[in-house]
Amino acid sequence: MRPRRTALVTGGSRGIGLEIARRLAEEGYDLTLTARESDALRKEAVRLSALGARVEAEPGDMAAEEDVRRIAAMHTARFGRLDALVISAGVGSAGRLAEYPIQRFDKQVSVNVRSPFLLIGELLHLLRATAELEPATGTKIIAVSSLAAFAPEPGLAAYAATKAALVALCAAVNTEESSAGVSATAICPGYVDTDMSAWIHDRIPAEEMISAADVAELALAITRLSRRAVVPHLPVLRPGAELWRG
């Protein structure tokens, strides 16, 4: 019998991360689910367990280096393999560049760039080892970036810069690791209908936004690709005349 595949999903208590986790659980993955809000995280872990998956809830703050290292170590100890690393935790806030508080910029760099860099580094040995066990598909890193990485909007300079760095990180992983079966994809959607986008509902109604289910569908498709297909980034646009706007 084939061993069950496993995934680690950050930002897994709501929004895109939770939807990807749900689809992976339905696909037969066991999960480590992590987010800052422990109550919400454990509640969703119970729900996902009802789909037949083993789900380990591991609360942690992606801005805290010790939490990132602990989460990586706990997944390794509990499962001993990693087929998909899903990086969905992220923060963002709007503000004009000239008046933007540097502390808020530092927070976004810490969560959106530094923690993915650290988490990937901590788990590469496990991703490589699992890729050897799965010669057809290898293993996947899926990072939720943003269309702002390619088409920044006024007021989103800090967010766009960190999400562009995440795209570059995935590309760098591919140059170093894809020959060993570990590939990385940055999914880069425009505005997605989640709590994080509620601030712009006065301009873009929720029903006109990309759905979290659409992003999760793409994430699942990436896990099914052969190791011969490397997708460094994947923009997802909303319909309309200004396609390259969020």
pLDDT 10s digits, 27-83: 999 999 999 999 999 999 999 999 999 999 999 999 999 999 999 999 999 999 999
Amino acid at 63: A
* Rounded alpha-carbon distances, angstroms, from residue 68 to 8, 65, 133: 12, 5, 25
Q: What is the mean pLDDT of residues 223-236?
A: 97
- In the predicted structure, residue 95 carries a pLDDT above the cut 80: no
Token readout for 146 is 């943003």
Q: Amino acid letter at 34?
A: T
β-pair partners for 192: 210
Which pLDDT score is estimated for 243?
63
What pLDDT score was predicted for residue 84? 98
Return the number of other C-beta atoms located less than 10 Å from residue 121's C-beta: 13
Instruction: Encode pLDDT of 144-203 as tens digits.
Output: 999 999 998 888 899 999 999 999 999 999 999 999 999 999 999 998 888 777 777 778
Which pLDDT score, from 0 to 100, does residue 137 have? 97
Q: Which of 29, 100, 159, 191 is catalytic?
A: 159
Q: What is the mean pLDDT of the chain?
A: 93
Tell which residue, 120, 114, 91, 126, has the closest CA to residue 199: 91
pLDDT of residue 96: 86
CA distances from 112 to 109, 145, 158 (A): 5, 9, 10
Q: State which H helix or E strand residue 243 sits in.
A: none
Which residues touch 2 (CB under 8 Å, ≥6 apart)?
none
Burial class (CB in 10 A: 0-12, 13-18, 19+), 184: buried
- The candidate with the shortest Cα–Cα distance to 91, out of 172, 184, 17, is 17
Neighbouring CB atoms inside 10 A of 77's CB total 8
Mean pLDDT calculated for residue range 234-245? 81
Question: What pLDDT does residue 240 have?
Answer: 79
Q: Which two tokens stand for residue 21?
A: 């986790």
Domain ranges of the chain: 6-236
Active site residue 100: no
Residue 242: predicted pLDDT: 66
d(CA 135, CA 220): 18
The pTM score is 0.95
Looking at CATH, the fold of the domain delimited by 6-236 is given as Rossmann fold (3.40.50)
